[in-house]
Structure 1
Amino acid sequence: MRCGCCCFGLRPIRPIPSPVEKHPISLKHLELRSTVRNSLCKMELFQVYKNIETQPIECEYVFPVENDAVITAMRIHLPDGTILEASIEEETKAQEMYQDAISEGNTAVMTKSDTPDKMVVNVGNIAPGAEIRIEFKFTTPISTELDFWKLYIPTTLTPKAQLQPNSIPLEEIKQETQFTVVNARNCTYRIGMSIDIHSDTPISDFSCKTYPFEWTLSENCLHLSGRFREGNDFIPDAGIKILYKTANSNFPLCAVQERKGEYAAMLSFLPMYKQENEEIEDLQGQRGEFLFVIDRSGSMAGERINLAKKAAVLFLKSLPPGSVFNIVSFGGRFDWLDQGPIDYNSNNVEKAIRSVEKFEADMGGTNIYDPLNSIYSTPPNKALPRSIFLLTDGAVSNPEAVVNLIRQNSKSATVHSVGIGNEVSTFLIKESAKAGGGVPSFVSGLEELSKKVINALEKCLMPALSDWKLNWDAFPAPSPENLKRVYYGDRFILYAHLGPTIPSSMPKLQCYDSRSNTEREFIIQAGISHFTAGDEIFKLWAKNRISEIETGNLPQEVKNSQIVQLSKEYGIPSSLTSYICIQKNSEAVVGEIQLRKIPVAKVRDMSQASVPMASMNRSLKMCAKMAMPRSAAPTVLWRAPDVTYKDTFAFRYTDSRCDEQERSVPKKKKAKKAEKEEEKQIAAEADTSESEIYLSIIKQQSAEGFWSFRQLSSALNIGKEIPAEFANLNQADDIWGTLVALAYLRKNYGSNKDEWKLVERKSIKWLKSSAIPIEESIQKAIEFLN
């Protein structure tokens, strides 16, 4: 189960502070309580803020909320034990109430959700010395990893005082031109965490690596609890992942809740049809139609287009036999590699690679709509699920039109989008993938481009279920016609409002299975045994219903009215409504309120992006003396209490100061610098040579998954004689060539494994027909190379 709310993820929204503008962060304590029951994870997040300044303050922060999570409540806890419950109001009214409360000397908390994936929280008018305790509640459905339930908690924390521009998530780059990002290990506040997992069937296995939890499993194995050790000062700097296994991990489930005399249900199951001795990897290799849509606009010139071409080669070589493919390149116009789907065979792949290698960034502007529209104009083959992989580094003038086009065709194709560089439209990348049921990725370090593409492709190689139909007397959300493709291993989830009675018939789901090329039917048991306390299923249904309304075709006035009505009725925030909670102070807070925007902590599970110099204050320019090589990205610190300003900033205020320092560098140092530059150039040429060998090996693999040893031995300049124990096998040249190629890749390019993992899997599948001990044989090939 993925706890996707990013409940610690307080995102940066303030500029780089000036040297004289140093303020203590007011977050003093943070606690998270997670409870898992009946395929739902309910979380309570407590934050304690204290104003240790001499004037009233207002805190503001942002944190992301995943698509499948819903915020279910917000509260203020008073020192005397009183709990103030927030109400849902239309955004304009909530803002008025918030401003009125502050002007009257009271304290208030308000949220705002401009987009479904993030929420802005304002905590207004905290008096000097005063403390305020805020509680948020979240709910998210269960996710799975293979045969395990998975609880994943991203820990983007918010302590104080370190700016790291080379670690800022790419999606934040477009929001502000300057950032405040802090190091999770520099936390000055306390953190508490507890996890309680309740299961209807015994928990047979569980794991949580790295983190200092104390785990307790009940005697009947139905309850697993974890706590941070007493007095522990550990601060997580990467996501916390807990895996646990039960007998019903893969069973269909219909959980039911009752609220005000009505019922709601959550239908959930894991589509996974494998034979008794089949491994998950055996299921990969689903034939399909794979379309690589690559940006060739002018801004892609240089390293970007070269690495995009490398990604295209790895993409082509990773496709499964029996598939069809095509490549569409675009700029101001677009070109197909060939008309219609291209059969996946060695000859066609070689021709495609030769064409791709000639690509240049010479097609003008960025028009994504037309190539996508051209793709959608051709109906897909139901037996070959269509997947689109979009690579772009730019923005378009009509992002909403592009997203709507993808959404309208989401049943016929999955869209994965990869944004390259810091100028890319984050709205376009995130929303196009969301509309197409795919995964958005952002790439700043261009060497990661191929990895991102292959990771997206990996999911598409699993069989999938599509064309959903629901036979049940219920009001589902999302509607079956809006359900996207569900791959084997991904959990299917559907929410349904049942009205005043639970239907007597069981919910029946029908869909098309691409693996068997047949229609499948699932009947899910619903009944009193699966009753779950609370009303979270109602709230999850309402959130999904609001999402459907927002993207529907109703008049805007009708949409707004329905969204506000659902939001208020079920107590969840939306783009038109906000939480508002007011604490009436016994003594009015007086004084000018100072805004304090809470920074974000960088942790290892956040996406990374470099910040371009253009994103910094224009008056700041990196000094040549302070510049660092790319391999050692510069870290710029906002001064902590024990460091001075001049020691921490790697920037100067004027160009002339940098010029003076440059002129004062002694000649010997300049000579050393020139020598280092020459060494760098030699190393870069060696890297280029290694890259050419690497790609040469990949290109030699056949579409079926084997290598010819005769061809490979010439490329690697190794002995041409096949060892005796392999020489008499049928297809000995191909078998030994494949073993040597895999051995060479493992031995020399292990760090690139994420790029060629699908190439390897295809080869191992091919080797299985030869009945040789594969891993043992690869080891012998490694010895041969040594």
Structure 2
Amino acid sequence: MEDSCGLITPQRLPVPLQSVEVQVDVMDHVATVVSTLLYQNKEKKHIETVFVFPMPSEAAICHFSAKVGQTLIVAEVKEKNQVSLGRDYDDVLSSGQRAFLMEKSDQRPDIFSINVGSLPPGESASIRVEYVTELDVQADEALRFCLPAVLNPRYQPAGQISLVTSVPSSLVPYDLSFLARVQSARLISKVESNCTMDPLEYLSQDQTAASVKLAAGHKFDRDVELLIYYKDTHEPSAVVEAGWYPEKQCTLMGDSAVMLSLYPEFPDMSTSIGEFVCLLDRSGSMSGDRLDTLLFLLKSLPLGCYFNIYSFGSSFEQIFPKSVEYKQKTMEEALKKVEKMQADLDGTEILAPLKHIYSQSCIPNQPRQLFVFTDGEVANTKEVINLVKSNSGSQSRCFSFGIGGGASTALINGLAKEGGGYAQFITGSDQMESKVIQSLRFAMQPSVVDISVKWDLPKGVSATVLSPPLTCIFQGQRSLLYAQLTGQNKEAAEGCVTVKYSLAGRPTENKLNFSLKPTEDTGLTVHRLAARSLIRSLEQGQGGRRGQIDDAKKKKIIDLSVQSGVRSSFTAFIAVNKTSGEAIQGPLLRIPLPKISYVQFYNEELDGSCVLCPEECGGPRSREEQGPLLELVSLQTASGCWELEPAFAKAVGKTSKDLENNRPSNVSYKSMWATILALVWLHGLKADAKDEWELLVMKAVTWLQSQNASGLAECVEAANSLLGCSVQKNALGI
């Protein structure tokens, strides 16, 4: 591989990696991740080294150290303009000293670069990185942690090809040691992974603490994904973390901090209006069965809405000149064009199609809901996110989907956050359809406005909110809020938080009562994430421009960054030689982030499927191979009903004669009979895929109700008899 992340030279050549050891401590909805990577210089000369690595955009680095031989160098957060520039960097290296500076790319905020300095021949470098991060909630309420493979490049615009995030284990010369410890106030139901794991070991009788390891000998040949399931994950909760005693009280690190996990509940008020625009990556990540997800999405759209589909790579295309009304004719036209799509547009140039979409006038009374599907590997992340931010509001939201383990969390999360939508990540064997339909449900919900958070605390205790104000919430979506708790009250041990908002003109509120007693042995995870949240809010300033930050705010950012150990735009990780106790002198060398070039791991004979991971990337498959569920979905009309035709009979595993002979004698309406058969088949035989077909069924039920036809009960009974099911009529919602 010509270029890679990990420890590399300024010429972008990799330093051989010997081993990787990772420990993850999960507390409720957040995690502390400690990675130790061992490298060795196998050259016969000194080499200069730079450590480049990807990490979640929502993460906060809180420790970095490098041990070279007997010398331990630890990074400490310092104000940038306090760093002594001293001698030339070359002089520092020739004297045997090492200088390094951690830098974060403004355009690619999930890529970090650290100058480590000179590595003698035969010498090993042990690098330890610690960061804290929030965990995403999936459609099935699992909390998702993803450890990206260290050699994880990112896409650069202008025609380069993205690299898959899975390679043959025979090509990986090192093993990964991985341990995850989970702690929560809730019962831990199970932990799943895309890699082979040892059995889950509970560490407490009430099953609120557990640990799990990767099986011995695991090769770090792909991203490691962990899915954690709690009982009652959707219930709101609070974690109070004790302050760090060396710090003074009335400071963030000295006081207690609280993390609130809020799940506001409100009635399902799905709407049938909206302009639904899909922006689809055709650079490779959406090949094969991933394109079939569009079938579920298109079939789930409500009558009366408007829609359009764009696809992009190094250029972009659109199905209709402008968004059209959703009906049978336009749906069929769109599906025909989608079926012909190939992952044949090299590159991931997303900015141009976004500009075109936003240049189109919004349709009156049809809020625009933008769905972006991409592998997320772009270098102009900041520019893309700013464009979405400038066009967001109650009449325009953006829902993003990261495809594959290498998707940029900065891009995917940024699009959703600034676009008032929701972010989803689809990797490995994830059921993409269920996640897309979940976001469609969110998009069909009206915007929640006038959101406020009120604290009710004992006398002598006050809360300072550190998170940005809530601007959007959805039914079933989690929101994390951080606050600093100042003062003490020995008599009262409980606090209360009330979230108020307005939905469709109706005021609503949700309350959460929580204990003020700090959770034991939590470290400083909550404090550091709270500090990261506040630093980012302060850095944005008015209009989000650094130049508009006044001196007082800048000083607050610097003080908070130094105190918490979380880097800001005005601070940097500066090297301190812990062996001698002296700070490393010399100018800080800023080696540019490498412009990574890529190798194309695709076999043209497989029509675009990936040679190294064909099961993950997939290739075009026939509907027959994909099973009857997709076949049945493809036959539903835009209105929501099914027609009694040979293809329908085949999809439900029967013949046309079977369907005709078993149709109740008093039911002459063939579409009604076919639609009831489809509903019974889905509920009775495909209940495990409910997240995928639920909106389709809602459309079908709405259509049945609009017919005011008799004989529904007889149809359900006959359908159960024919299909061998036992679905009750009331379970169908009719």
1:334-733 → structure 2 map (5 Å cutoff): 335-337=321-323, 348-351=327-330, 353-354=332-333, 366=352, 368-369=354-355, 371-372=357-358, 374=360, 387-390=369-372, 403-408=385-390, 410-412=392-394, 413-416=396-399, 431-438=414-421, 455-462=435-442, 466-467=448-449, 468-472=451-455, 474-480=463-469, 483-488=471-476, 490-499=477-486, 506-512=496-502, 518-531=506-519, 533-551=522-540, 552-553=542-543, 556-559=546-549, 562=554, 563-583=557-577, 628-630=605-607, 633=610, 700-709=635-644, 719=656, 722-728=659-665, 733=670
Aligned-pair distance for 1:524?
A: 2.3
Aligned-pair distance for 1:326?
A: 3.8
Aligned-pair distance for 1:92?
A: 7.3
Q: 1:184/1:305 Cα in 2 relative to 1: closer, same or farther (>3 Å)?
A: closer
Contact conserved, 2:643 with 2:670, CA < 8 A, in 1? yes
CA distance in structure 2 between the aligned counterparts of 1:140 and 1:157, rounded to whole angstroms: 17
Pairing 1:104–2:102 present? no
Aligned-pair distance for 1:126?
A: 2.1
Q: 2:122 aligns with which of 112, 119, 129?
A: 129
Does the residue aligned with 1:543 lie in a helix, a strand or coil? helix
Contact conserved, 1:215 with 1:225, CA < 8 A, in 2? yes
Q: Deviations over 1:108-151 (max 9, x none)?
A: 44321114322123322122333333322222235445776535
What letter corresponds to residue 104 of structure 1 in structure 2?
A: S
CA distance in structure 2 between the aligned counterparts of 1:560 and 1:60, rounded to whole angstroms: 34
Q: Deviations over 1:594-617 (max 9, x none)?
A: x9999999xxxxxxx99669xxxx
Q: Which residue of structure 2 aligns with residue 50 of structure 1?
A: 40
**TM-score, length-scaled by structure 1:** 0.63
CA distance in structure 2 between the aligned counterparts of 1:94 and 1:484, rounded to whole angstroms: 41
Does the residue aligned with 1:253 lie in a helix, a strand or coil? strand
What letter corresponds to residue 192 of structure 1 in structure 2?
A: S
Q: 1:49/1:728 Cα in 2 relative to 1: closer, same or farther (>3 Å)?
A: same
The structure with higher relative contact order (CA 8 Å, sep 6+) is 1
Pairing 1:226–2:211 present? yes
Q: Which residue of structure 2 aligns with residue 258 of structure 1?
A: 243
Contact conserved, 1:292 with 1:312, CA < 8 A, in 2? no
Contact conserved, 2:499 with 2:509, CA < 8 A, in 1? yes
Aligned-pair distance for 1:627?
A: 7.3
Q: 1:201/1:774 Cα in 2 relative to 1: closer, same or farther (>3 Å)?
A: farther
Q: 1:287 aligns with which of 256, 271, 282?
A: 271
Q: Deviations over 1:360-418 (max 9, x none)?
A: 99xxx94644642555685767xxxx522257999999997764353245452431357
Does the residue aligned with 1:121 lie in a helix, a strand or coil? strand
Segments of structure 2 that go 5 or more residues without pairing to the other structure are 342-350, 456-461, 585-589, 614-618, 706-711, 726-734
CA distance in structure 2 between the aligned counterparts of 1:632 and 1:209, rounded to whole angstroms: 20
CA distance in structure 2 between the aligned counterparts of 1:129 and 1:305, rounded to whole angstroms: 44
Aligned-pair distance for 1:268?
A: 0.9
Q: 1:536/1:689 Cα in 2 relative to 1: closer, same or farther (>3 Å)?
A: closer
Q: 1:317 aligns with which of 287, 299, 308?
A: 299
Q: 1:50/1:428 Cα in 2 relative to 1: closer, same or farther (>3 Å)?
A: closer
What letter corresponds to residue 492 of structure 1 in structure 2?
A: S
What letter corresponds to residue 478 of structure 2 in structure 1?
A: R
CA distance in structure 1 between the aligned counterparts of 2:409 and 2:142, rounded to whole angstroms: 31
Does the residue aligned with 2:243 lie in a helix, a strand or coil? strand
Contact conserved, 2:139 with 2:435, CA < 8 A, in 1? no
1:302-313 → structure 2 map (5 Å cutoff): none
Q: Deviations over 1:625-662 (max 9, x none)?
A: x97553665679xxxxxxxxxxxxxxxxxxxxxxxxxx
Contact conserved, 2:195 with 2:214, CA < 8 A, in 1? no
Pairing 1:156–2:149 present? yes
Aligned length: 645
Does the residue aligned with 1:506 lie in a helix, a strand or coil? strand
Q: 1:487/1:245 Cα in 2 relative to 1: closer, same or farther (>3 Å)?
A: same
Q: Which residue of structure 2 aligns with residue 239 of structure 1?
A: 224
Aligned-pair distance for 1:579?
A: 1.6
CA distance in structure 2 between the aligned counterparts of 1:441 and 1:267, rounded to whole angstroms: 21
Q: 1:183/1:399 Cα in 2 relative to 1: closer, same or farther (>3 Å)?
A: closer
Q: Deviations over 1:275-333 (max 9, x none)?
A: xxxxxxxx7x933544333679xx999xx999999987653321246x63344879899
CA distance in structure 2 between the aligned counterparts of 1:148 and 1:397, rounded to whole angstroms: 31
Segments of structure 1 that go 5 or more residues without pairing to the other structure are 1-8, 159-167, 275-282, 590-594, 602-608, 614-621, 637-682, 782-786
Aligned-pair distance for 1:493?
A: 0.7
Q: 1:291/1:688 Cα in 2 relative to 1: closer, same or farther (>3 Å)?
A: same
CA distance in structure 2 between the aligned counterparts of 1:213 and 1:526, rounded to whole angstroms: 35
Q: Which residue of structure 1 aligns with residue 174 of structure 2?
A: 189
Q: 1:306/1:265 Cα in 2 relative to 1: closer, same or farther (>3 Å)?
A: closer
What letter corresponds to residue 71 of structure 1 in structure 2?
A: I
CA distance in structure 2 between the aligned counterparts of 1:222 and 1:419, rounded to whole angstroms: 32
CA distance in structure 2 between the aligned counterparts of 1:227 and 1:391, rounded to whole angstroms: 32
Does the residue aligned with 1:581 lie in a helix, a strand or coil? strand
CA distance in structure 2 between the aligned counterparts of 1:183 and 1:305, rounded to whole angstroms: 21
Q: Which residue of structure 1 aligns with residue 458 of structure 2?
A: none
Superposed CA RMSD: 6.1
Q: 1:176/1:478 Cα in 2 relative to 1: closer, same or farther (>3 Å)?
A: farther
Q: Deviations over 1:418-471 (max 9, x none)?
A: 7999xx99998775444214467999xxxx9xx978843432315588332112
Contact conserved, 1:148 with 1:246, CA < 8 A, in 2? no
Identify the structure with the greater helix proportion: 1
CA distance in structure 2 between the aligned counterparts of 1:598 and 1:399, rounded to whole angstroms: 15
